[in-house]
Chain A
Amino acid sequence: MAAGDQLLDIQDLHTGFRIKDEYYDAVDDVSLTLDKNEILAIVGESGCGKSTLATTIMGLHDSKNTRITGEIIYNDLNLIDLNETLYNQIRGNDIGMIFQDPLSALNPLMRVGDQIAEGLTYHTTLNKEQRTERVLELLDQVGIPDPLRISKQFPHELSGGMRQRVIIAIAISCKPPIIIADEPTTALDVTIQAQILDLLKDLQAETQAGIILITHDLGVVAETADRVAVMYAGQIIEQATVQELFENPLHPYTRSLLNSMPQEDAVTDELHVIEGVVPSLTKLPHHGCRFAQRIPWIPAREHETDPILHEVTPGHLVRCTCYKHFHFKDEKGEE
């Protein structure tokens, strides 16, 4: 990939929340890049920091209670250093965001068309007629039938899938080069989910945008993403292209997750269970592998004291060395 295609470069990002005068990093040492025309999926279970990462990129955190360090480089600008006024020019115009719950992301008292036009008022010089025209064009683009009628309706009059389309229309209204989609299909039925994911891909083909897709559904990842980063307890523990990750998963967490899915073909009686629970933010170990306590049968010497990401093959990164000798509890390990 040529260097000019890189849209976003995140380096050593930490986002810490203040709890009783101490900061706890919900996002810990995350480095990522996003290229043009690429779908980067961020996968992880609830509480792993994937949404915090998204809101950090969007600059949605209250600076009084959060501590953000590191770099988010976009167009030679470090987004972390921006003040609110400058950030407002970036939000919506350069980075669009699609939220999980379309009903709470939309204003219930505002007509759908006006909500889409809102971003255009801030970021473009279009006059009222042009804006209305653009709104209808956008609604048509996201596959809403009869845009003129729908644009005058309120969010509660639309179905879940329609609302999500409206959210997408808002996110792409200013043709942003970066789109962050935070669980865009989690609240939707499978058939609608397929439509929305197709829509995102089609839109991307038109605009060449880079999409960060945040999800917990490995199926969605396998169907849509180009590259995948797996997060656990605030850290990226594995990163690879989508083919590589599903064919050759290395990190114990990735392998356990894939194993705990109900299998397509083989109907097994028992599903694989990952021992223990995700450690809470305040109880995260400061040193050592964060996944170690959930695979207690792997001896401590297999883990690194301060796990770093190792590049196993070009583009395939794995944190900690424990993957080398990892085996599931019921399997024989090679000694």
Chain B
Amino acid sequence: MELITINDLKVHYPIRSGFFNRVTDYVYAVDGVDFTIERGKTYGLVGESGSGKSTIGKAIVGLEKITSGSIIYEGQDVTKKRVRKGMQYNKDVQMIFQDSMSSLNPKKRVIDIIGEPIRNFEKLSDQEEKKKIKGLLDIVGMPEDALYKYPHEFSGGQRQRIGVARAVATNPKLIVADEPVSALDLSVQAQVLNFMKKIQREYNLSYLFISHDLGVVKHMCDNIAIMNKGRFVEIGTREDIYTNPQHIYTKRLLSAIPKIDVADREEHKELRRKVEREYVQNEKEYYGSNGRVFDLKNVSPTHQVALASAKSGGVQ
């Protein structure tokens, strides 16, 4: 069952210059992106910095003004603020931010941080609210005495868990997680990812998981979209992307992930260099004139790639 459909989403930022500060050009941060998010699934959005992945996340939550396109939720276009307010969209779609230190108000206690979204959408008595917040803290594995503490009294992993608790406080249907574990250590990252999975099972949530870490994305996501220059270069299931990458950019990203395989590291390096050479040589074949990514074409029912002609098989 589909939850949100995004059609031809575009976010362009104007560049102003000259004497009259006129708009002279645009930055095409997101330039024509279509996809669908289904109930209870996790979608990965992967790309290098500056590829526009966070902009998509922000546009969905409503933090970014979009240039054109539509975001359809329950049959209505939620790109307008008025529509979002009318249908409790803001309650159903929540966000987890990358930097927990700057996304939690340092002057508020945990009870107020997690209580804020609840107060916005529900009318609960103090007792009920407190009970609910305790329940939320319990889900993310935090002790009860955390209620009256301030964000600076927690470690990075604990703060990120508070961020998760705040995001699930309104029983949302979709959570946009923008690099939720990038700033965390390995063991803490494991904790947060486990909690995110547990919450998903309990509430039948959908996630839009934005990350540059392909290892984490592989662990979390059912479907993955690879972004480059504001457009999707490849979209497919986890198996499609990891076992049968078609676009040179995807191959390049995959080959660049460091592998825990000391014995074969020379081969791995050789493969990486080969892909890099291919990328440099054949860049023109994979990108249109003026460097734009081609439109997506079907390779298989679940797998779409941005190639000039839909040649199946590819190079590998």
Roughly how many angstroms separate A267 CA and B156 CA in the complex, as a whole number? 26
Roughly how many angstroms separate A217 CA and B187 CA in the complex, as a whole number? 12
Q: Are B263 and A190 in contact (CB under 8 A)?
A: no
Interface centre among B238, B253, B260, B272 (most CB of A within 10 A): B260
The B-contacting residues of A in range 223-282, CB under 8 angstroms, are: 223, 242-243, 246-247, 256-258, 260-264, 267-274, 277
Q: Are B265 and A222 in contact (CB under 8 A)?
A: yes
Q: Which of A16-24, A83-91, A100-108, A191-199 contacts B (4 or more CB under 8 A)?
A: A191-199
The A-contacting residues of B in range 205-237, CB under 8 angstroms, are: 212, 214-216, 218-219
B205 to chain A, nearest CB (A): 15
CB-contact partner of B187 in A189, A264, A273, under 8 A: A273
Q: Are A219 and B194 in contact (CB under 8 A)?
A: no
Roughly how many angstroms separate A271 CA and B195 CA in the complex, as a whole number? 10
A183 to chain B, nearest CB (A): 12
- B185 contacts across to A, CB distance below 8 A: 45-46, 216
Q: Are B268 and A277 in contact (CB under 8 A)?
A: no
- A217 contacts across to B, CB distance below 8 A: 258
A221 to chain B, nearest CB (A): 8
Contact of B7 with A by CB under 8 A:
no
Roughly how many angstroms separate A188 CA and B197 CA in the complex, as a whole number? 27
Q: Are A189 and B212 in contact (CB under 8 A)?
A: yes
B256 to chain A, nearest CB (A): 4
Contact of A119 with B by CB under 8 A:
no
Interface size class of B (residues with CB under 8 A): 35 or more
Interface size class of A (residues with CB under 8 A): 35 or more
Contact of A220 with B by CB under 8 A:
yes
- B189 contacts across to A, CB distance below 8 A: 260, 271
A70 to chain B, nearest CB (A): 27
The B-contacting residues of A in range 1-60, CB under 8 angstroms, are: 45-46
Q: Given the interface contacts A191-B252, A243-B263, A271-B219, does A257 sit within 8 Å of B257 by beta carbon?
A: no
- A198 contacts across to B, CB distance below 8 A: 269, 273
- The binding surface of chain B is classed by DSSP as helix
B277 to chain A, nearest CB (A): 13
- B268 contacts across to A, CB distance below 8 A: 223
Roughly how many angstroms separate A192 CA and B49 CA in the complex, as a whole number? 11
Interface centre among A219, A256, A262, A268 (most CB of B within 10 A): A262
Contact of A147 with B by CB under 8 A:
no
Contact of A160 with B by CB under 8 A:
yes
Contact of A218 with B by CB under 8 A:
yes
Roughly how many angstroms separate A247 CA and B238 CA in the complex, as a whole number? 28
Roughly how many angstroms separate A216 CA and B219 CA in the complex, as a whole number? 19
Q: Given the interface contacts A191-B253, A222-B258, A246-B262, does A45 sit within 8 Å of B187 by beta carbon?
A: yes
CB-contact partner of A160 in B49, B156, B214, under 8 A: B49
Minimal Cβ-Cβ distance residue in A for B220: A262
Q: B240-256 toward A: CB 8 Å interface, digit per residue (1/0)? A: 00000000000011011
Q: Are A190 and B212 in contact (CB under 8 A)?
A: yes
Q: B122-161 toward A: CB 8 Å interface, digit per residue (1/0)? A: 0000000000000000000000000000000001110000
- B215 contacts across to A, CB distance below 8 A: 219, 261-262, 264
CB-contact partner of B219 in A223, A256, A267, under 8 A: A267
Roughly how many angstroms separate A297 CA and B259 CA in the complex, as a whole number? 31
Roughly how many angstroms separate A269 CA and B189 CA in the complex, as a whole number? 14
Minimal Cβ-Cβ distance residue in A for B257: A190
User: Which B residues have a C-beta under 8 Å from some C-beta of A?
Assistant: 48-49, 155-157, 185-191, 193-194, 197, 212, 214-216, 218-219, 238, 252-253, 255-263, 265, 268-269, 272-273
Known A217-B258, A273-B191, A274-B187; 17 more pairs at CB < 8 Å: A45-B185, A189-B212, A191-B256, A218-B260, A220-B258, A223-B265, A243-B263, A246-B260, A258-B260, A260-B190, A262-B216, A262-B219, A264-B215, A268-B219, A270-B197, A272-B190, A273-B187
